[in-house]
Amino acid sequence: MIVFLWCLYILSALVRLLWWFIFRLMTIFRLPIKASFYGKEKLGISVVVCAHNNLPGLKQLLPLLISQKDVLFEIVIVNDRSTDQTNSWLEEQANQLGQLIIVTVSDTPKNWNPKKYALTQGIKASQYPLIALTDSDCLPVSDHWLSHMEERLRSTNKNIFLGYSPYEEQPGLLNKVIQTETLFTALQYLSMANAGHTYMGVGRNLGYRKSFIEKHLDDFPFQNHLGGDDDLLINQLSNGTDAVTSLDPQSFVLTFPPATFKAWWKQKRRHLSAGMQYKTGTKILLSTYWLSSSGFWLGFIALLLFYKGENILIPVTVHFCFFVLGTVLLLPVFRIFKAGRLFPLFLFWDFLYIASSSIIGFSTFLVKNKKWN
Domain of 103: which CATH number? 3.90.550.10
Whether residues 264 and 289 share a domain: the answer is: no
- Tell me whether residue 263 is in a domain: yes
Helix, strand and coil content of the chain, in percent to the nearest 5, comes to: 55, 10, 35
Q: CA 139: distance to chain centroid?
A: 15
Domain termination site, one of 202, 233, 268: 268
**Cross-sheet strand order for the sheet of 100-105:** 100-105, 73-80, 45-51, 130-135, 206-209, 160-162, 243-245
Could you give the number of structural domains in the chain? 2
Pairing of strands 160-162, 243-245: parallel
User: What pLDDT score was predicted for residue 40?
Assistant: 67
Q: What angle do CA 209, 214, 215 make, to 5 degrees?
A: 120
Quick: pLDDT tens for 182-218.
Answer: 999 999 999 999 999 999 999 999 999 999 999 888 8
Whether residues 93 and 219 fall in one domain: yes
Residues 163, 87 within the same domain: yes
Domain boundary among 268, 300, 320: 268
Query: Rounded distance, CA 108 to CA 117, Å?
Result: 7
Residues 16 and 133 in one domain: no
Residues 16 and 48 in one domain: no
Q: CA–CA separation, 258 vs 266, rounded Å?
A: 10
Question: Which residues of the chain, if any, have pLDDT below 70?
Answer: 29-40, 226-228, 363-373
Domain that holds residue 292: 2-27+281-362
Gap between the Cα atoms of 219 and 52, Å rounded: 23
pLDDT of residue 372: 44
At 373, the amino acid letter reads N
Q: Report the pLDDT value the prediction gives residue 370, as an integer from 0 to 100.
A: 47
Would 68 be classed as within a structural domain?
A: yes
Shared domain check, 150 and 46: yes
Task: Confirm if 159 and 36 have CB atoms less than 8 A apart.
Answer: no
Answer yes or no: is 131 within a domain: yes
Q: Cα dist. 239→21, 35, 233 in Å?
A: 24, 19, 12
Give the 3-state secondary structure of residue 76. Answer: strand
- Indicate whether 325 and 196 sit together in one domain: no
Return the pLDDT at 37: 45
Q: What is the DSSP string of 264-282?
A: HHHHHHHHHHHHTTS-HHH
Each residue of 2-28: pLDDT tens digit? 889 999 999 999 999 999 999 999 887
Average pLDDT, the chain: 88
pTM greater than the 0.95 cutoff: no
